[in-house]
Amino acid sequence: MSDLLIPRTASAYNYPLLIKNLLLYPVVDNPDQEIVYRDLYRGNYRQLRERVKRLANMLTGLGVKPGQTVAVMDWDSHRYLELFFAVPMIGAVLHTINVRLSAEQILYTIDHAEDDVLLVNSEFLPIMEQIRGRIDNVRTYILISDDGMTECSTIPACGEYEQLLAQASPEFEFPDLDENTRATTFYTTGTTGMPKGVYFSHRQLVLHSLGLLATLGSSTSHACLHRDDVYMPITPMFHVHAWGVPYIATMLGVKQVYPGRYLPETLLELKEKEGVSFSHCVPTILHMLLKHPLAEKIDLRGWKLIIGGAALSRNLCVESLRLGIDVFTGYGMSETCPILTISKLTPEMLELSHAEQAEIRCKTGLALALVDLRVVDSNFNELPRDGVSAGNVVVRSPWLSQGYLKDHKASERLWEGGYLHTGDVAVRDELGYLKITDRSKDVIKVAGEWVSSLELEDIVAHHPAVAEVAVIGKPDEKWGERPLALVVLKPTEGTKVTDKEIAHHVREYADKGVVSKQVVLVKVKLVPSIDKTSVGKINKVALREKYL
């Protein structure tokens, strides 16, 4: 076969796809463009490059070797952006620790990832206090501080980030690496068992950047990220590289704004003050932002916002559109780097009413370029694009985790049959728009038919008295399962509305025929709150334990 391959001249440079190339050879080389961290740092791309080189010297000076792991516990910051580049660029692995995990889980991931170096923001020292003395592998600690703290007793820090940076040389020649070198690792907070580690190579991160940019760039006005945008992440950088957007923003040379911890007031103030035009977040955060008094006072028009992590409800979508926010859905998961689909609209669709657009924007959308996404039945046959045939979502793309770290069995399950199994159940409409109807493990099977808990949640959420809802399947002798809707009422409605009224509201939808008849079997239970996972998703495992 080898004579089929392109012949290579001995001297010819066989260009590997490396993260350094996104920084060094970007779409736009914009040295004076700003990079902002809250009101604490205001630098530019020239400084970014210099600081990345200093950071490389700092880390190699501390003995970090290719293949070793550098872990970070920080809020979204310019420092995190620097680490996104410097750590993989010296051939090391960046472990982005999920700071919302429990201390015990954090200890588990530090141990499992075999972290050699740990950078810790002083705000997380209380967590470190809980696990001190039980970390075996970390050799070097570096303190990160926003308040001038340079020493602490909790960790044996070799110094503070800014001080060490200032001492390091600003010159560094980044080596060429094999493009399949591991660049990042982080842990998915599954609903069962301990967190599982996923990992991505340089090549995968470069291709995710180019693939996502092919979709976000090529639109004229809607769902686009262009060279004149201003970017601020509102999905944590420890969570799937903030969906990979910091890499793209850096390639584009746009102004970047890092907000630290997500406080609604800070986020809205930064949005206004810095002219932010592109962000991404989970629905819970969007909800929080829109409910904040500042939301009425500042101009949100033209803010492009990818929503992912959980289903965007039509109500929240319509409310966002009313405020002029270009809100749309992205779909993916930790295992997928993450983005697989985007709910981009055609120019004709953008002429529709907000309510009609919301139907499309709340779907998870169309596959990105190079993404082979299939909805299949249990025999792996692709299902018709008819908007009703629900099946498992399986996928191939150049940027999927090739397994779970040190977990052979789970890796094989993930990739059974050569496709990555997302664990999601979905339908596709005639135009190819994907709509996630359920997690395959969360499916509710009523009288042999699958009922979509997400669809049912959406219907319940339409009732004006409902603040939050989660639907789980309750074992039932007669029907196999019946849907159980756990409902949190709005505080003002607390005493006025009954579970029966909510159930009646659902049945009306069934009577109108807009949803399968099985939903009339719904039971409604009013609850004070709904359990969430560390990344803000509804924790159905916990809910089942509690209510079944």
Catalytic residue list contains 329:
no
Q: What does the buried/exposed string (b/e) look like for 1-23 if buried means 16 or more CB atoms within 10 Å of the residue's CB?
A: eeeeeeeeeeeeeeebbbbbbbb
Q: What is the nearest approach in angstroms of a copy of itself to the Cβ of residue 408?
A: 8
Query: Is the CB of 178 or the CB of 511 nearer to a copy of itself?
Result: 178
Q: What is the nearest approach in angstroms of a copy of itself to the Cβ of residue 219?
A: 6
Q: What is the nearest approach in angstroms of a copy of itself to the Cβ of residue 48?
A: 17
Marked catalytic residue, from 65, 291, 441, 445:
445
Catalytic residue list contains 173:
no
Catalytic residue list contains 274:
no
Pairing of strands 523-526, 480-489: parallel
Six-digit token string for 23: 């920084």
Pairing of strands 466-476, 480-489: antiparallel
The vertex-493 CA angle with 357 and 469, nearest 5°, equals 50
Marked catalytic residue, from 96, 188, 189, 215:
188
84-to-54, 184, 239, 509 alpha-carbon distances in Å: 14, 9, 12, 48
Marked catalytic residue, from 335, 455, 468, 481:
335
Catalytic residue list contains 255:
no
Q: What is the nearest approach in angstroms of a copy of itself to the Cβ of residue 183?
A: 9
Pairing of strands 278-281, 304-307: parallel
Query: Is the CB of 141 or the CB of 303 nearer to a copy of itself?
Result: 303
Using CA atoms, how far apart are residues 520 and 483, in angstroms rounded to an integer?
Answer: 9
Query: Is the CB of 260 or the CB of 403 nearer to a copy of itself?
Result: 403
Q: What is the nearest approach in angstroms of a copy of itself to the Cβ of residue 302?
A: 12
Closest by alpha carbon to 247, among 386, 473, 82, 364? Answer: 82
Marked catalytic residue, from 50, 266, 272, 450:
450
Q: What is the nearest approach in angstroms of a copy of itself to the Cβ of residue 209?
A: 9
Six-digit token string for 382: 């692709």
Which neighbouring-strand residues pair with 111?
none
Query: Is the CB of 420 or the CB of 543 nearer to a copy of itself?
Result: 420
The helix or strand, by DSSP H or E, that contains position 321, with its residue range, turns out to be: helix 314-322
Using CA atoms, how far apart are residues 341 and 216, in angstroms rounded to an integer?
Answer: 11
Using CA atoms, how far apart are residues 86 and 92, in angstroms rounded to an integer?
Answer: 9
Query: Is the CB of 110 or the CB of 373 nearer to a copy of itself?
Result: 373
Query: Is the CB of 213 or the CB of 486 nearer to a copy of itself?
Result: 213
Closest by alpha carbon to 205, among 186, 218, 190, 229? Answer: 186
Catalytic site residues? 188, 335, 445, 450
